[in-house]
Amino acid sequence: MIKYLIRRIIMLIPVMIGVSLVTFSLIYIVPGDAVEVIVGERASEEIREKAIEELGLNKPFHQQYLSYMSNVLKGNLGKSYINNKSIKESIMERFPITFKLTLYSFAISVIVGIFVGVVSAVKQNTVIDSIVRGTTLLGVSTPVMFSSLLIIYIFGVWLKVMPVSGIGDGSIKYFLLPSLVLGLNSAVFTARLTRSCMLEVIRQDYIRTARSKGIAEKIVIFKHAMRNAMIPISTNLIMSFGYLLTGSVITETIFGLPGLGSETVRAVFQRDIPAVMGYFLFQAVIFVTFNLLVDISYALINPRIRFN
């Protein structure tokens, strides 16, 4: 297992180099001069050239890339072109907000998703099951911006019991609505997955054996079936955490939460190149880490993978 782990982690190195190269190239071809962002459109030729010289933007691609990456390895992600703030600091300031949002959403997704999924599987082919299948598919088809805006309208115009925008003092009530939207959005996927995993398990012979031994249905479901169905479900949940962590761009933007997602959008639109670069690398590292966690959990469950 340790051998497998080490091999997987070593394999990440070329992937991360590839990720940084792709991001750097994408930014390299961004239309509109990077210098204009810093010195303004009406700056004189002299100032422009001085800025280009200082930033090393006149150097060839590979030199720019190498000098950037050597800084990154030293833990220096550079400074924003717009507000001169350290990128590392911005990440440390904003990532906790995204993390909180993800954590609350994840909790909602797990609790609601698994409960609904199990109920639907146990009551297969009943009215409850059809209602669950219909609603979850409708949920899967609803874009998160639409549900966000509907929730904002409902709570802002009719109920008026909760803040619908911004972070205020950072207390939990500012996170409730965005977490609800993001959590339910993810819960419908969890519910569908739980349902099909449970049905897969319920069909197995050992469940029939357990039932024929006269064990109470509740125990069969929760002790025998749930335990085995949880294996594929939990691997998928790890992945969904990774998705939530990097996928809250729209929710953060709509609810005005100053997390990493909305900050990335800001940086992208203002062509704040060092910021874009830093945020992308950071989020790719997170995403890759969760991919790795999923693979490890697979390997723990299924020893055959380790020797492949």
Residues that bind other proteins (CB under 8 A): 11, 14-16, 18-19, 22-23, 26-27, 29-31, 124, 137-138, 140-146, 149-150, 152-153, 156-157, 195-196, 199-200, 243, 246-247, 249-250, 253-254, 264-265, 268-269, 271, 276, 280, 283-284, 287-288, 291
Q: How far apart are CA 121 and CA 285, in angstroms?
A: 36
Q: How far apart are CA 32 and CA 35, in angstroms?
A: 9
Shortest CB 45 distance to other proteins, Å = 26
Q: Identify which of residues 14 and 168 has a Cβ nearer to other proteins in the complex.
A: 14
Are the C-beta atoms of 272 and 80 separated by less than 8 Å? yes
Q: What tokens appear for 212 in the block?
A: 């024929």
Q: How far apart are CA 94 and CA 72, in angstroms?
A: 19
Shortest CB 171 distance to other proteins, Å = 24
Q: Identify which of residues 86 and 124 has a Cβ nearer to other proteins in the complex.
A: 124
Q: Identify which of residues 49 and 256 has a Cβ nearer to other proteins in the complex.
A: 256
Shortest CB 303 distance to other proteins, Å = 18
Find the helix or strand (DSSP H, E) in which 199 lies: helix 173-202
The H-assigned helical ranges of 29-172 are 34-39, 45-55, 61-73, 87-122, 127-140, 144-153
Shortest CB 202 distance to other proteins, Å = 10
Shortest CB 11 distance to other proteins, Å = 8
Q: Identify which of residues 30 and 219 has a Cβ nearer to other proteins in the complex.
A: 30
Q: How far apart are CA 168 and CA 277, in angstroms?
A: 29
71's CB contacts (< 8 A; 6+ apart) are 77, 78
Q: What tokens appear for 252 in the block?
A: 């953060």
Shortest CB 244 distance to other proteins, Å = 10
Q: Identify which of residues 78 and 156 has a Cβ nearer to other proteins in the complex.
A: 156
Helix pair angle (127-140, 173-202), 10° resolution:
130
Q: Identify which of residues 47 and 199 has a Cβ nearer to other proteins in the complex.
A: 199
Shortest CB 252 distance to other proteins, Å = 12
Q: How far apart are CA 287 and CA 303, in angstroms?
A: 24
Q: Identify which of residues 106 and 280 has a Cβ nearer to other proteins in the complex.
A: 280
